[in-house]
């Protein structure tokens, strides 16, 4: 009888132990996720707040949306930053990056960027328009090819401040030496929009670090960043 009671108590203790262990495991996972999120956010902001532009072989403007052949406000600001750097003799060539889709009627982000640069005094032979890429990773891959073909050793990359931390990682993996240069802010961004942009970058950067090559996820994230 005593042995039966001991066995019964042991059986009762076992589920309680596993429940506590599971709770501790879940708590550790949550802490790890929170810690990772805070670390990535800190790194994103640190890169976004500094302009490392210096003499280089080229300036690369990462694509953003275009509307019927005109740059979106985001792309407009990135291109203006590139023109400013070019006029300061930071680099002799500007690369515009970004393709298009069927709904764009044949227009591309890279092509619209080229036209904008031409209208702002950059000579045609000082512009390289890349028009095939559809997300940031593809833009980096195409930039790597362009750099090899044109013997570019150093590149100033221009994009949104929060975008540059991820770009720098992708460029490093592609063997590119880059200096990050954020575009100018576009007026006031409400807290919700700012939080969504930050979460987008945290998820995208985490996806890159984990080597999750999910093109549908990348394209969905990119579509919410223009």
Measured between alpha carbons, how far is 182 from 108 in angstroms, rounded to an integer?
22
pLDDT tens, position by position, 142-184? 999 999 999 999 999 999 999 999 999 999 999 999 999 999 9
How far is residue 214's CA from residue 86's CA, in Å, rounded to a whole number?
Answer: 35
Determine the pLDDT at residue 104. 47
Distances (CA, A) of 155 to 51, 83, 85, 97, 224: 13, 15, 12, 13, 26
Architecture of domain 58-223: 3-Layer(aba) Sandwich (3.40)
Q: What is the pLDDT of residue 10?
A: 52
170-208 burial, b if ≥16 CB within 10 A, otherwise e?
bbeebebebbbbbbeeeeeeeeeeeeebbebbbebbebb
Q: Does residue 82 contact residue 59 with C-beta atoms inside 8 Å?
A: yes
How is residue 149 annotated by DSSP?
H
26-66 pLDDT, tens digit each? 888 889 899 999 999 999 999 999 999 999 999 999 999 88
A 10 A CB-CB count for 116 gives 24
Please tell me whether the overall predicted TM-score, pTM, comes out greater than 0.95 for this model: no
Query: Per-residue confidence at 186, pLDDT binned at 50, 70, 90?
Result: confident
What local confidence, expressed as pLDDT, does residue 19 receive? 83
């Amino acid at each position: 009888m005593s042995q039966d009671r001991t066995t019964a108590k042991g059986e009762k203790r076992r589920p309680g132990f596993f429940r506590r262990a599971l709770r501790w495991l879940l708590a550790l996972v949550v802490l790890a996720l929170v810690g990772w999120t805070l670390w990535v956010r800190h790194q994103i902001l640190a890169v976004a707040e500094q302009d490392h532009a210096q003499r280089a072989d080229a300036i690369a403007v990462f694509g953003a949306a275009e509307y019927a052949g005109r740059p979106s406000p985001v792309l407009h600001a990135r291109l203006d930053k590139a023109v400013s750097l070019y006029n300061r003799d930071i680099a002799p060539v500007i690369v515009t990056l970004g393709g298009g889709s069927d709904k764009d009627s044949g227009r591309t982000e890279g092509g619209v960027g080229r036209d904008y640069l031409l209208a702002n005094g950059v000579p045609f032979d000082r512009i390289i328009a890349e028009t095939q890429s559809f997300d940031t990773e593809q833009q980096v891959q195409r930039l790597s090819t362009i750099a090899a073909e044109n013997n570019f050793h150093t590149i100033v990359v221009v994009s949104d401040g929060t975008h540059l931390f991820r770009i720098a990682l992708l460029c490093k993996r592609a063997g590119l030496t880059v200096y990050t240069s954020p575009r100018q802010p576009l007026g006031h961004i409400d807290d919700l929009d700012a939080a969504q942009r930050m979460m987008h970058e945290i998820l995208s950067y985490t996806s890159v670090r984990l080597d999750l090559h999910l093109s549908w996820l990348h394209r969905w994230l990119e579509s919410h960043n223009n």
